[in-house]
Structure 1
């Protein structure tokens, strides 16, 4: 059976020997060992497919292949091309537009062991993602009646009758690139024609990436086998209802679960049985009768969860997850234990399942939450509510985990965890890239990151603007892609794949443009209401239904480095889907991909280095000059981290200070790079964080004390519950002399912003000569209060809630004091808490501030171990202060790990034996 994919991805199990039995309903991933070869060397589908797929056909001269992966990932793994992410190596790789599609049309072949199932069982071969078209053969038989197209349309085939009697099988897949592949002529998406396909668009190049030479042709996602009985469970769907307005803590009123699934009878005889699941000791079931080759959508009775554990976005509560197992059992409640199979009567294909036997199971993981997006009449934008509680959106734009689609559960986990550590609560998956994989959403479920998922398109390619770099006119491009039916079928398939994730918050028709009218209507009026029905849909990323632009102009932005005052006084879209700044990594980050000859200081006004330009560097302009001249690249990147921290802390502080007045949300453009770009990132391609991440971490405190640089007043924001806090401020000279400025009690309501004391006179006087350190904060006074005014939680009196350090320039705008700052020493105590985890206590015993200390876990050669996670970083300690940092890090191969400490005025040193 060919066509749209048939069910959600399930847990994997190890490959079995040819005649070995195994538990049913599990999946086997067909990853390595695949081999591949260019199709022009062995023949196309019609001439070579049958022969290549016969076990025993010689495969001399074939290359070990990376599956999941692409042609380029295979070539890189085999040493056939240089690393395209290093220097200008990408220029040494043939581009598909120049060499033609045949150059990247490849056969992929894999032998696997699997016996034919007994007693009417079925084996299903699943492709979770191929770019762009493919034909597939098994044991000399063609499975695709016609070529399967579409990067985002899964496919499944019943291969039961084609499996070899001896269990030794061969699979051969020929993969065709997107056609047309697009001319990578320097435009956004090249000449735009890549968008004629239902595929991702960035592969022809963008203002943050160079073109991917094979356009990511290959079997880019998992290939799986699953065994079932004659009745298969497809497209399980769960909707959770959480009426009313809830709080994260305390007892909960009931929630309600609505579960549906498609049941498919693959046999030629009728089948009957129970579809059921069990949750917290209670079984919910319904009796179903299926005719021969029948498919039914089955709705189970609504279940009441009496004491639900609710799922919340990051910063608003916990993220508990539930797991159930949908099961179809023949004949109603039988005596056969769950998970076992009773052979069908007579053991013949198409036989009726024996009473009590299980035909299929489908696991389903979910979080209990209800999300709505009402219109805020004051801001004139959407506001996001989770379980009735409004959530101020602090998000990041996401491209893709790896531009060459080297996707993995571990990398997804690390990247989403970084977003959690930035104290963001939403990731927008940008429309010029992918519908992300279930493993990405799994990570968002765990870490509480809501997701805005764009469908595939961007105004750059799809005709929002006239563009001289585009091959076709604006009207033609507005009708992209060529095959609207393929797009609609692909969208339906991806909705089914992702809709059960609690992190999925809303859908978006595309980046800065709507899809063609018929596609838009299909999404908005048909697919989403019928297949999902619980999430808000916006036609495009800055549509007026999302955020009404009352200000004229673009409304989104600004982009690039800004005076900090901009984020406080320049009003933008009330729900801003793109606003961003710089994001250069430090010296060690740049050394990973910059050749030695190109490690130069990018001085303002000087012609930019060719490799810096190739990697899309966004200049810092004259902003570094205020910190004094940088004589080498290490010094420049050290200054860049100060600017990074300030830029993103100021961005979130400015938007959050106007929450629910000017804004309901902001999404940073952008928080990560899937290759070695030199712009807009909180961590680099190698998963090494820079100061941007910790500036966001600082600004994202639930209760946050901030300094408004425009009015020079203290600003106190609270995105949590009602509470009373002690607000305070201190100034420190560059010699460490403390001057108290403010201390007072403040009552904070839920979701409020208070502007408190005016510090202008004192701050301007103290900073005039050399600049100062301004330390502001808030401590708890008693616990947080619930809606009725009662205390809840375990907050202690005087518990620290916010501590926020600014470094302010002198009266001329220069950081003369930082340039002259004396050396400081820091006492360090390390306690290893478990394998790969430690706590570090830092103490400043002297009179000089210890400024901007970076902690790094390294191997024995001094290279950072990545990814490592820090509860805080780029830390500053005033005289007598102590700070604690929790570390989590990978285990190095030789087991030797060290802690590196390096600061603005703290000498670099290593502590052995983590």
Structure 2
């Protein structure tokens, strides 16, 4: 190995006419040191990058099933397998199935070919340096069940994709000859939900991914050999107690397994870094037994750490991490060693006001994050790709990811979350249906395995039992007891994902941005705890990709117009919850009907920005009153689709990504489209004094409209939303109906004026018939955009809000078809009128209609907005005391809040791009200056492309995109991507593409 590397260096040096003998010797020394370090771990991988794996359907083995354990068996007609991976993916990689991402290929696969048992086979040699007494064969996960054989001898059956296996194969392996390893893998039992659990439940298809042939069965996690002496270390755990943020007391728990037939005595040593904190203890172990060792500060004062480096979520501080190297020695011989990573932190929780709040290190954290359906729909996400995915979440300023249905199982996911300060809401494998798994004991053992495997990760913040349902007895109690026993109740257990101090799940379709600011954004399913922003575990919208990604998955003949092939990628009835029809309608209403695919994708990105930004800003606008967090469905893409994503399957950053990144920045300035207030949002651990908040309004010609400009000096304290000012688009936003006259079709209880008296204890009630109405006379004409109704238990199930100038001719401004009791906040387009009516269509009870309050909001009709163009821009800036910009935000607003079609009349823009390209640490880093010398360049999309091929370079980390420059303005953008993305001689070019190109 060292020799090969030397030759490579020598050859490379000669080509460059440089040769440095000292460099070569240094390289040899480093390489040998690395080799020693590798082998010193006494671990060797058996994944398919290290040895050859093959697979074949069990049904096709026939008489060969008796021969496959022989070393001279010919497996030429077997399919080469990807391990870790799935059966179906192995056939895809081998070219035996068409690309499942493209068109409807995956829908055409013969499922019966894969929905059956398969046999895996590989051969390996025992490394010569395995000189210790015991050789172990280790499995980290098989989906869903695996019978494991070594050299024809059955070792065990692993059941459930989280179940680990560690087998003493010392007496079975051949030291001087090849060893044959075979695994018979059985698919999960159907229905997966929840009968086949624990497994990857969505593998049977969902409203965002197709049915995966073989149900993602296979050897889905690592396989490796290890070599130890008589005593091994199992599941070491460093539990942190934070009595104050200035001192951490550590409890260390380790299981030691003595595999010999004699009692043993040895020394357990731990070294914690940073700090070089060392502890050791002599321990006596019984023969053939497991001994649990517990160490604390009472025994080892050094386990009390003064001024520890705490682990903080993204935005609240640095995600500091520690390591602990455990070693067990018998005499002078190292029997086994393990290294773990952990963070010093303390999670606490409260449910004040019926809303779940999370605090860490005594600081409340406002949750900003998203759901992961799966890491990838065929389990093809591996290793460093997790670092990329989680880094993109950090770049979006997220601080939490929900591991939906526990569908992401790889350790690299948790490692990346630890590294980037992303908390994890971690589900188990149950979904809604009130049924039990086939084997509840297998389920329970997998729960315990999962907790033990990931509990050292600082990022775990919440355990959740069931998606949109309660775990059926006895599982709910078992899960809670497991968390108490194996995680010390350090993390909160939430039995159901959308009830119990949560505000439900959904809606999942595109809504007017004002919906998210309006009390309250209703969920689709879930909470019985009353309406609230609260903590919403799922909410989302369809998110259409950019044109480049669309063309990668849809055949050219199906590009335009929308058709059934789009539905194969979940823009249609398959993803009905995403309301793609409404998404289409919103594009047309807001930006004009698209005439081709390019127009559609371009306008879709503006809609993506608007909606996704508004979801977070709506919740942040009500931070702690009563909002505590929001997680969108979904924040990443498991399958190449057109719904529920921020970056897409190919890592192209859609408008949704940029809307989220803006809204979630730790120090943020934002505008409410409902009341035009401008707030400073501080989701950091720091107080800021003497900040300057500024708002400037520009017309489509790029000129500012001075009368609407505002500024204020504000103090922004940690975890607050502070109003700075209101942009005076309207002269007032008070309740226009207060103490005004009311007329009703009938009155059976109370008085009509009880609904405008400002007293929520008095009410009006109609006769017990559906066709009843009540209206308020505002006495003057106003521009009206919102109504608040406070219903008694006798509520309107279906009704209309209507406006009139004469109380004779009524205009429908909103139709409610799923009314509820309590407060209903109804926003609509600005409409001029004097009379506002609730027209009942269908009652929600056997009684009449009964209202406590009827409030109307709007503005005086004499508000002077004549100086505004029909579409105009709002630019917000937040500066610190040294005039440094902390946050900048940009909106487009219409006099009709749903009509931005005048953006299509912007003059064509030409932007200039100047770039500096450097290579650094295996990456390209490009710094580009984008300028607009002649006029407005609206919604500039930034792309790095291959100069030679013109194709987009992905993945790439981009600092900004879809921004707007006024005449003479410029912006600096940084783009970073792996050097391997380009071949020799290829160069990157930065493209800046305005909406009005």
Same-fold call, TM cutoff 0.5? yes
Following TM superposition, by how much is the alpha carbon of 1:422 offset from its aligned partner in structure 2, in angstroms?
Answer: 1.2
Change (3 A) 1:229 1:663: same
d(CA) in 2 for partners of 1:541, 1:227: 42
1:857 corresponds to 2:813 = no
Name the residue aligned to 1:586. 546
Name the residue aligned to 2:75. 59
d(CA) in 1 for partners of 2:104, 2:131: 58
d(CA) in 2 for partners of 1:118, 1:897: 47
Q: Deviations over 1:52-75 (max 9, x none)?
A: 122122223112111111111111
1:543 corresponds to 2:499 = yes
d(CA) in 2 for partners of 1:174, 1:597: 43
Following TM superposition, by how much is the alpha carbon of 1:863 offset from its aligned partner in structure 2, in angstroms?
Answer: 1.3
Name the residue aligned to 2:102. 86
Following TM superposition, by how much is the alpha carbon of 1:299 offset from its aligned partner in structure 2, in angstroms?
Answer: 1.2
Q: Deviations over 1:164-197 (max 9, x none)?
A: 13142111111111133x4xxxxxx6xx5x6334
d(CA) in 2 for partners of 1:357, 1:214: 46
Could you list the runs of 5+ residues in structure 1 that have no partner in the other structure? 1-13, 15-19, 183-188, 247-252, 331-354, 464-477, 550-554, 782-796, 908-914
Give 1:436's match in structure 2, choosing from 390, 393, 409: 409
Name the residue aligned to 2:967. 879
1:627 corresponds to 2:581 = no
Following TM superposition, by how much is the alpha carbon of 1:810 offset from its aligned partner in structure 2, in angstroms?
Answer: 3.7
Q: Deviations over 1:486-526 (max 9, x none)?
A: 11111101111100001111100010112221111111124
Change (3 A) 1:311 1:22: closer
Following TM superposition, by how much is the alpha carbon of 1:532 offset from its aligned partner in structure 2, in angstroms?
Answer: 4.2
Following TM superposition, by how much is the alpha carbon of 1:542 offset from its aligned partner in structure 2, in angstroms?
Answer: 1.6
d(CA) in 2 for partners of 1:565, 1:256: 48
Q: Deviations over 1:583-612 (max 9, x none)?
A: 110101101101111112449xx9976664
d(CA) in 2 for partners of 1:100, 1:590: 28
Give 1:729's match in structure 2, choosing from 695, 699, 723: 695
d(CA) in 2 for partners of 1:361, 1:121: 15
d(CA) in 2 for partners of 1:577, 1:370: 22
Structure 2 matches for 1:184-223, cutoff 5 A? 192=193, 195-223=195-223
Structure 2 matches for 1:103-182, cutoff 5 A? 104-114=116-126, 121-144=133-156, 147-180=157-190, 182=191
d(CA) in 2 for partners of 1:576, 1:486: 31
Give 1:393's match in structure 2, choosing from 321, 345, 367: 367
> Mean alpha-carbon deviation: is it higher for 585-594 or for 861-870?
861-870
Give 2:449's match in structure 1, choosing from 493, 504, 510: 493
Give 1:690's match in structure 2, choosing from 654, 666, 671: 654
Structure 2 matches for 1:410-809, cutoff 5 A? 410-431=384-405, 434-459=407-432, 462-463=433-434, 478=435, 480-544=436-500, 546-547=501-502, 555-571=504-520, 572-602=532-562, 612-613=571-572, 616=575, 618-619=580-581, 620-625=583-588, 626-720=590-684, 721-723=686-688, 724-740=690-706, 741-761=709-729, 765=865, 768-781=868-881, 797-809=882-894
d(CA) in 1 for partners of 2:295, 2:135: 27
Name the residue aligned to 2:772. none
Following TM superposition, by how much is the alpha carbon of 1:884 offset from its aligned partner in structure 2, in angstroms?
Answer: 1.9
d(CA) in 2 for partners of 1:142, 1:682: 46
Name the residue aligned to 2:755. none
1:898 corresponds to 2:988 = yes
d(CA) in 2 for partners of 1:739, 1:454: 51
d(CA) in 1 for partners of 2:42, 2:445: 26
Change (3 A) 1:100 1:114: closer
Q: Secondary structure of 1:91's partner? A: helix
Residues 704 and 802 of structure 1 are in contact (CA less than 8 Å); yes or no, is this contact kept in structure 2? yes
Name the residue aligned to 2:740. none
Structure richer in strand, relative to its length: 2
Following TM superposition, by how much is the alpha carbon of 1:481 offset from its aligned partner in structure 2, in angstroms?
Answer: 0.2
Following TM superposition, by how much is the alpha carbon of 1:816 offset from its aligned partner in structure 2, in angstroms?
Answer: 3.8
Q: Deviations over 1:293-343 (max 9, x none)?
A: 12111112330222321111011111122222101012xxxxxxxxxxxxx
Change (3 A) 1:624 1:115: closer
Kindly report structure 1 stretches of 4+ aligned residues shifted beyond 6 Å. 116-119, 606-611
Residues 398 and 671 of structure 1 are in contact (CA less than 8 Å); yes or no, is this contact kept in structure 2? yes
d(CA) in 2 for partners of 1:764, 1:240: 61
Aligned alpha-carbon RMSD (Å): 2.5
Residues 319 and 445 of structure 1 are in contact (CA less than 8 Å); yes or no, is this contact kept in structure 2? yes
Change (3 A) 1:451 1:640: same
d(CA) in 1 for partners of 2:507, 2:519: 9
Change (3 A) 1:403 1:228: same
d(CA) in 2 for partners of 1:608, 1:81: 21
Following TM superposition, by how much is the alpha carbon of 1:722 offset from its aligned partner in structure 2, in angstroms?
Answer: 1.6
Change (3 A) 1:516 1:813: closer
d(CA) in 2 for partners of 1:839, 1:682: 23
Residues 771 and 807 of structure 1 are in contact (CA less than 8 Å); yes or no, is this contact kept in structure 2? yes
d(CA) in 2 for partners of 1:839, 1:703: 26
d(CA) in 2 for partners of 1:705, 1:766: 27
Residues 30 and 225 of structure 1 are in contact (CA less than 8 Å); yes or no, is this contact kept in structure 2? no
d(CA) in 1 for partners of 2:932, 2:994: 17
Residues 499 and 532 of structure 1 are in contact (CA less than 8 Å); yes or no, is this contact kept in structure 2? no
Change (3 A) 1:714 1:527: closer
Following TM superposition, by how much is the alpha carbon of 1:845 offset from its aligned partner in structure 2, in angstroms?
Answer: 4.7
1:39 corresponds to 2:13 = no
Residues 828 and 840 of structure 1 are in contact (CA less than 8 Å); yes or no, is this contact kept in structure 2? no
1:76 corresponds to 2:92 = yes
d(CA) in 2 for partners of 1:746, 1:898: 43
Residues 42 and 130 of structure 2 are in contact (CA less than 8 Å); yes or no, is this contact kept in structure 1? no
Change (3 A) 1:559 1:764: farther
The TM-score normalised by the length of structure 1 is 0.83
> Mean alpha-carbon deviation: is it higher for 47-56 or for 32-41?
47-56
Q: Deviations over 1:102-158 (max 9, x none)?
A: xx32111111110588776111111111111221221232222xx332222122211
> Mean alpha-carbon deviation: is it higher for 389-398 or for 806-815?
806-815
Residues 107 and 174 of structure 1 are in contact (CA less than 8 Å); yes or no, is this contact kept in structure 2? yes
Following TM superposition, by how much is the alpha carbon of 1:767 offset from its aligned partner in structure 2, in angstroms?
Answer: 7.2
Q: Which of structures 1 and 2 has the larger relative contact order (alpha carbons within 8 angstroms, sep 6+)?
A: 1
Name the residue aligned to 1:787. none
Change (3 A) 1:901 1:484: same
The TM-score normalised by the length of structure 2 is 0.77
Name the residue aligned to 2:278. 283
> Mean alpha-carbon deviation: is it higher for 820-829 or for 894-903?
894-903
Structure 2 matches for 1:326-345, cutoff 5 A? 326-330=326-330
d(CA) in 2 for partners of 1:608, 1:676: 11
Change (3 A) 1:858 1:118: closer
Change (3 A) 1:853 1:840: farther
d(CA) in 2 for partners of 1:805, 1:139: 66
d(CA) in 2 for partners of 1:729, 1:100: 60
> Mean alpha-carbon deviation: is it higher for 317-326 or for 762-771?
762-771
Q: Secondary structure of 2:206's partner? A: coil
Change (3 A) 1:243 1:610: closer
Give 1:364's match in structure 2, choosing from 332, 336, 340: 340
Name the residue aligned to 1:4. none
d(CA) in 2 for partners of 1:21, 1:525: 39
